Chains A and B, each alone.
Chain A
Amino acid sequence: MTILNGKAWKFGDDVDTDVIIPARHLSTSDPDELAKHCMEDADPQFFNKISKGDIMVARKNFGCGSSREHAPLAIKYAGISCVIADSFARIFYRNSINIGLPILESPEAAESISEGDLITVDLEKGLIKNETKGEKYYSAPFPEFMQEIISAGGLINYVKDRLSEKP
């Protein structure tokens, strides 16, 4: 059972991959290095302000722009445990799952949550709890195989695990 909890950091519509990780930092693919520049153009202190487990909350079309896998990697390695938004750009959605970053679509949560609220997420149930406001929101729960991809730390590890189980 995967329960995540942390403080909410709030963003708006159409946060694009260049905001998540500016192209000038793409000469490296070292995730810890990328993490330091996560959301830098929206908030230069973002990486220093957040604590491990914190949750990003944004509005519609999060992750639009390029198909670079660096974007979800930067978020994940910065210590963000989950992203909640109204909607995600399609390739960002795929890439996030594939690198093991949980992301949830919930327009209700995305609207109600304020910056700083304490949030608990139960991935199995798709349940998002706002401990600060005492509210609950729902998102479609991940099917089992997708939870396995996330808990394996991404698609490549998941495939590895699956193949090693085979007799």
Chain B
Amino acid sequence: MGMTAAEKIIAAHAGKETVKPGELVKAKVDLILGNDITAPVAIREFKKIGLNKVFDPERIVLVPDHFTPNKDIASAEQAKIMKEFAREQGITHYYEVGRMGIEHALLPELGLTLPGEIIIGADSHTCTYGALGALATGIGSTDMAAAMALGETWFKVPSTIKFVYQGELNPWVSGKDLILYTIGQIGVDGALYQSMEFTGPVIRALSMDSRLAMCNMAIEAGAKAGIIEPDEITYAYLEGRAQREYRGLFSDGDAIYAQEIEFNVSEIEPQVAFPHLPENTRGISEVGEVPLDQVVIGSCTNGRLEDLRIAAELLKGKKVHPHIRLIVIPGTQKIYQQAMKEGLLDIFIEAEAAVSTPTCGPCLGGHMGVLAKGERALATTNRNFVGRMGHPESEVYLCNPAVAAASAVTGKISAPEEVL
């Protein structure tokens, strides 16, 4: 009987011929990720094990990105625990401020996340790496500690839902809109425990940056993972980047899916998720009048080069509305530098936007753009839960970079066409 790509990856890492959904297995992991919030807890647990050395200092990635550059003394203390552990263990993939990026933008860029691999991270958006054909999922800090010791973890094999995207994409519709639309259709628990496999002609033509944005939000539908089988676009992206050898795995023709869902993307316009859940989506033409206080372009969902290029295209020669704070945060140092070379940063600054060093910052209401009571933000991030970007009585709307840029100019949620 056939298996899905996700099942094959788990079987290969569990040393088994086949696995079935629901089965509990122990599997080797290729990479373990932690950040300045989760790693310190994992390090404390790791020390309880009483082991001197991690299983492999080259397979652990530590990225201070949430509250860095350190926003206060407490966050500085957390970052310090991680930095010292990295030094003491000789962790090769530790990325200090100045070399870092938001973890889920940084790891693919560095060629650390590869097809056919199992990657676990003490961060729920670890599922981003499914865009490269990896089985990647978020875990807890205790899981991270144990995996750092053993190089393996346990999994419940997820069943897979296949999403097939057909048709022609409308102008300004990106991977972000496809995933927002999908979550709008199936709900925030629509793929609980499951793996979401994205496929079809539209996906095969989609850029890597857009694929990363899609898989990034699989968790927002409750999924354990999102996955896109590798193809020419994947291999081109990995060229000169991949840090290890890899082997892509593909779903069999007779693989068993829990469900198959097909969408005609010709019917999808840019999407906006209303507070306070990513499933509260509407097409841009149905948004109505929503004035804003702040617009954020960045995060592990949409802080990549493609996103900044789209935003710059719309902001060129224009000014941010006088009532709006526009904050642009390139996802990594490299993206930042490339944006500078291409003149994108000039466009943002001319438009009177604030441009920041890479950080999660406002995405989780940490720093660099926290909302006051009653304020309303439009963001290219992935979560719009109550209080996510600041005060519990503030609001977050989610969208793609084009809608965000256009709205920064008009001062209210607007379609990109309105500013062209």
Name A residues whose Cβ lies closer than 8 Å to a Cβ of B.
Answer: 61, 67, 69, 87, 89-91, 93-95, 97-99, 140, 142-143, 145-146, 149, 154-156, 158-160, 162-163
Contact = CB atoms under 8 A, between A and B. Distances in A.
A155 B156 contact: no
A90 B150 contact: no
A95 B154 CA distance: 12
A91 B189 CA distance: 13
Contacts of B48: 156, 160
B99 interface: no
A160 B154 contact: no
B65 to A, nearest CB: 18
B49 interface: yes
26 contacts: A67-B140, A69-B142, A87-B192, A90-B192, A90-B193, A91-B140, A94-B140, A95-B140, A98-B143, A98-B146, A140-B22, A143-B25, A145-B26, A146-B24, A149-B154, A156-B49, A156-B142, A156-B146, A158-B146, A159-B146, A160-B48, A160-B49, A160-B50, A162-B150, A163-B49, A163-B51
Contact of B142 (A61, A98, A140, A163): A98
Dominant secondary structure at the A interface: helix
B24 A142 contact: yes
Given A90-B224, A146-B24, A163-B149, A155 B142 contact: yes
A53 to B, nearest CB: 24
Contacts of A97: 154
B281 interface: no
Given A69-B141, A87-B192, A89-B192, 5 more contacts: A95-B142, A145-B154, A146-B24, A155-B146, A159-B149
Interface residues of B, number: 27
B139 interface: yes
B398 to A, nearest CB: 20
A90 B192 CA distance: 7
B69 interface: no
Contacts of B213: none
Given A61-B189, A142-B24, A145-B154, A94 B143 contact: yes
Contacts, number: 63
A96 B26 CA distance: 16
Contacts of A160: 48-50
A99 B145 CA distance: 13
A98 B145 CA distance: 11
B145 A156 contact: yes
Interface in B107-140: 124, 138-140
B142 A90 contact: no
B352 interface: no
A98 B153 CA distance: 11
A158 B124 CA distance: 24
Contacts of A90: 192-193, 222, 224
A98 B192 CA distance: 20
A93 B51 CA distance: 26
Tell me which of A95, A140, A156, A158 has the highest count of chain B C-beta atoms within 10 A of its own C-beta: A156
B45 A156 contact: yes
Nearest to A99: B142
A56 to B, nearest CB: 20
B46 to A, nearest CB: 9
A163 B48 CA distance: 13
A87 B156 CA distance: 13
A159 B150 contact: yes
Tell me which of B26, B51, B145, B192 has the highest count of chain A C-beta atoms within 10 A of its own C-beta: B192
A85 to B, nearest CB: 13
A125 B156 CA distance: 18
B139 A94 contact: yes
Nearest to A64: B189
Contacts of B45: 156
Nearest to A154: B142
A146 B88 CA distance: 32
Contacts of A154: 142
A90 to B, nearest CB: 5
Contacts of B224: 90
Nearest to A141: B24
A163 B124 CA distance: 28
A38 B25 CA distance: 31
A160 B45 CA distance: 11
A61 B193 CA distance: 11
A155 B143 contact: yes
A28 to B, nearest CB: 15
B52 to A, nearest CB: 11
